[in-house]
Structure formats: structure tokens, C-alpha cells
Amino acid sequence: MAENNLSDKDALAKLKEIVDKIDVGTVCSFPQDSDYPHGVPMSRQEVDEEGNIWYICSAESETFTNLSQDSRVSLFYADPGNYTFLSINGDASLSRDQERIDRYWNKMMEGWFEKGKEDPNIQLLKVTPQEAHYWDSNSNMIVNLFKMLKAKVTGESEDIGKEGDLNL
């Protein structure tokens, strides 16, 4: 893969493109009593104009407990079929902005919060990326494998995608 580091608006556009395309990523928080991160799959609600990634979580979750004690967070998005991956490290903050909760509320949330959108356990999780790295192929894995094999046989280089830092 060719290296293609991106900055500012280009980095923000790439981050938003990948997060919106994949949607569900693994959100990792760091428990105080463990050497290992705690990861859970979560669907993003929004990537805002500043590059912050928003989620809804429960005040009763282990993620909430961990982030209340340590704001470090790592996010991992993966679409192996299209060979697209994104790794983000950042800072998390928790809030109860009712206007955002109202905006993000949908039928799926009712399954998690039986008391509705006024449930006091609903928390907004905002992740502010500090560093991010992406791998993005131009096609699916089978096409990329064929291109790599062709390059090996012919000695010609093949474009199998880009990877690089996202400097937001």
C-alpha cells in the first residue's frame, strides 16, 4: 500500500468516510484493575464537523465506569471485505446533553433504554481523536490478492490502496 498521510479537511473527510461506511466499531476503555483494555462494539451516532465521534452508552456499563476514571479511549473500525481499517486513539468525555439525545434517539435505542429518551442512564460519549491511522484499499480483498500476485509475476507495481496517518 502506498503511504498517504492526510491533514486537516482531507483527514477529517477520510475519518468521516470510513466511520460512516463501517458504522460499528470497537470502543476500548481502560479499566483501573486490569492490564488489558475493555472493548465493546458500538454504533456511532455522528462524526461532527470537528471530527469528534459521538455514541450513546449507559451509565450502568463497564465502558462508562472505565471512562469516568480514565478518559483514554481507542477505537477500531474494520471492513475486511473491502480491506478498509481505521485505528483511533483519543480522549473521551461523557455528558447528558438532552438536545443531542433527542437528535440521536431512534427505535433501536428503545431496546437498550426501556424508560425512553429521558432515562437517566443515557449518556453521550464524545471521542475526540488525538491520533488516527487508516488502511483503505481501492477494491475488495480478492481483487487485491490478484493484483499482488500479478505484481509478483510481472515485477510491475500495482495500486492496492493507501494507508497513512490522519492529522486532524
12-46 pLDDT, tens digit each = 999 999 999 999 999 999 999 999 999 999 999 99
Reported pTM: 0.86
**C-alpha cell belonging to residue 90:** 483519543
Condensed to tens digits (0 to 9), the pLDDT of residues 74-95 reads 999 999 888 899 999 999 999 9
Residue 82's pLDDT is 86
What is the DSSP secondary structure assignment for residue 35, as one 8-state letter?
A: S
Q: What are phi and psi of 144, to 5 degrees?
A: -65, -40
Please check whether residue 90 is in contact with residue 73, taking contact to mean a CB–CB distance below 8 angstroms. Answer: yes
Averaged pLDDT score across all residues of the chain: 89
Residue 46's pLDDT is 97
Determine the structural domain holding residue 53 and report its residue range: 2-167
> Grid cell 431496546 — which residue?
111
Residue 118's pLDDT band (boundaries 50, 70, 90)? very high
Q: How many domains does the chain have?
A: 1
- Say which amino acid occupies 44: R
* pLDDT mean over 130-134: 97
Condensed to tens digits (0 to 9), the pLDDT of residues 140-167 reads 555 545 544 545 666 666 555 788 999 9
Residue 137's pLDDT band (boundaries 50, 70, 90)? confident
User: What distance lies between CA 122 and its chain's CA centroid?
Assistant: 20
Residue 156's pLDDT is 66
CA distance 7 to 165: 8
CATH code for the domain in which residue 142 is found: 2.30.110.10
